[in-house]
Amino acid sequence: MSKNVHFNRLHELLDRMNVVNSGNNKAEDKPELSDQFAAYILWLDSEPMIPERTYSIHFQSESTIVQVTDLSFKINVNTLSQLAAKKLEQDEIGYCKLSLSQRVSFDAYSDNQKTGTFTIFDTTNKSQIGAGVIDFSLRRAQNISWHETNINQETRSKNKHQKPCVLWFTGLSGSGKSTIADELEKKLYELGKHTMLLDGDNVRHGLNRDLGFTDQDRVENIRRIAEVSKLMVTSGLITIVSFISPFRSERSMARNLFNDDEFIEVFIDTPIEVCEARDSKGLYKKARAGQLKNFTGIDSDYEEPEMPEIALQNSDANIDDLVNNILDYLRANSKI
């Protein structure tokens, strides 16, 4: 199906809603420049659109990374009523707020039906997964600018005599992430290094206590902790993150916040049978009994890392050996 067909579907719907003014095509006006705007999106993928997940957005002559920061509502195409929604399923149309990784030039669709459209692609397999038309620029994007400070990451790093980075631990519940991360921080402390450990359960007691365990909440959970981790690295700290972080797309989003050598993915590769046999918190037992929904590995997917910097087998390994493997990697890459 050609992309024109998708835009025609959107145009017909907006025309019925009296959103499109076909007589007001201001092609001669100068396009706007912004990194945030409101838009109508037709979702095409079998996997739902989830706010805060990272996608690729393509305009007439530019492309960049995009996140849907808010799904305001989806539209019943028969009645035109607005319905509350947390995600867009295939062939659904929603009204969204978008945030781009850089400013791009565009027009509102009502002003220019060529430069007011965009397509959305999967960042992994490059397939088209959405089409959209722009309603208007969000003015708040033009009211803020980055403030450069005198004391920056390089200054803080020199003061601490270390190269900051984030060690992003991922693996199933019960894989040993927290135990290994805790022991690693202890060893780094003994070496005189400045660290911060962010544990998934601990963070959910404060910063992320409003989040549950749906796919949407998991995406937001990782987005928040990735941003916090970035601040920690900017402060010059070796930051250890211990989260299940089950989805590749969110781990990729986190990685993209950092410089190439600052993000170290540590996959604690423990078979689910071993994790379930340990089950120190009784979570797998509850999940199997249907008492705990959206539990990773049971009724919610875990997507294993494809190319982690460090992969540790933790079925019956010695914790000290696993920690030493990580320390060896850090030394070999001049982090400590």
**Which residues are tagged catalytic?**
245
- Tokens at 310, concatenated: 């460090």
3-state secondary structure of 42: strand
- Tokens at 79, concatenated: 């009645």
**How far is residue 107 from each of residues 35, 87, 99, 252, measured CA to CA in Å?**
12, 26, 16, 30
- Tokens at 94, concatenated: 């929603």
Locus of tokens 């033009």: 142
Q: Is the separation of the CB atoms in 257 and 165 below 8 Å?
A: no
| Angle, CA of 64, 113 and 128, to the nearest 5° | 40
* Other residues' Cβ atoms within 10 Å of the Cβ of residue 86: 13
**How far is residue 240 from each of residues 44, 164, 271, 281, measured CA to CA in Å?**
37, 11, 22, 22
* Alpha-carbon torsion, ordered 223, 224, 226, 227, to 10 deg: 120
**How far is residue 274 from each of residues 254, 279, 283, 284, measured CA to CA in Å?**
28, 9, 14, 11
Q: Is the separation of the CB atoms in 252 and 67 below 8 Å?
A: no
| Angle, CA of 51, 53 and 130, to the nearest 5° | 80
Q: Is the separation of the CB atoms in 25 and 112 below 8 Å?
A: yes
Question: HSE (CB half, 13 Å, CA atoms) of 118?
Answer: 28
Crossing angle, helix 177-190 and helix 319-332, to 10 degrees?
60
